[in-house]
């Protein structure tokens, strides 16, 4: 394989392994190193993002949360500041999580047991 072909292959692989998906207020990004980043949509500072070792690590965090949770419960896992609220919104917006926004003030989420009704999706997108 030529050096040029190898470089093209490497670039193609990197593109295939990375993916950024934007939701209403948050975004999720799979990185080539296997990590998963939750960020505020259109934000570019580190204070608006939380990096997980993998998407599975984010799933494990979600699984450890009670059926109804707020920023304090998310904070008990070591996540601080506004990233706690960002994760609640991401859980509600990402289709991999059966979750909706329960209340906006104070912000809290609720696991929905697979019921992603139009109402839950609308509330999550507000």
Separation of alpha carbons 73 and 76, rounded Å: 5
At 10-68, the pLDDT tens digits run 776 666 667 889 999 999 999 989 999 999 987 776 668 999 999 999 999 999 999 99
- In this prediction, residue 88 carries a pLDDT of 97
Instruction: Kindly report, residue by residue over 79-108, the tens digit of the pLDDT.
Output: 999 999 999 999 999 999 999 999 999 999
**Closest residue by Cα to residue 32 from 45, 20, 15, 47:** 15
> Both tokens of residue 60?
């494990």
Which residue has better confidence, 13 or 4? Answer: 4
pTM > 0.85? no
């Amino acid at each position: 394989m030529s050096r040029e072909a190898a470089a093209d292959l490497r670039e193609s692989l990197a593109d295939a392994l990375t993916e950024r998906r934007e939701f209403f207020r948050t975004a999720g990004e799979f990185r080539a190193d296997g990590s998963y980043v939750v960020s505020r949509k259109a934000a570019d500072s580190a204070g608006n993002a939380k990096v997980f070792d993998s998407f599975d690590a984010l799933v494990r965090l979600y699984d450890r949360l009670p059926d109804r949770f707020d920023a304090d419960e998310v904070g008990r896992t070591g996540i601080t500041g506004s990233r706690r609220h960002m994760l609640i919104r991401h859980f509600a917006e990402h289709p991999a999580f059966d979750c909706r926004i329960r209340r906006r003030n104070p912000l809290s989420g609720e696991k929905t047991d697979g019921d992603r009704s139009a109402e839950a999706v609308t509330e999550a997108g507000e």
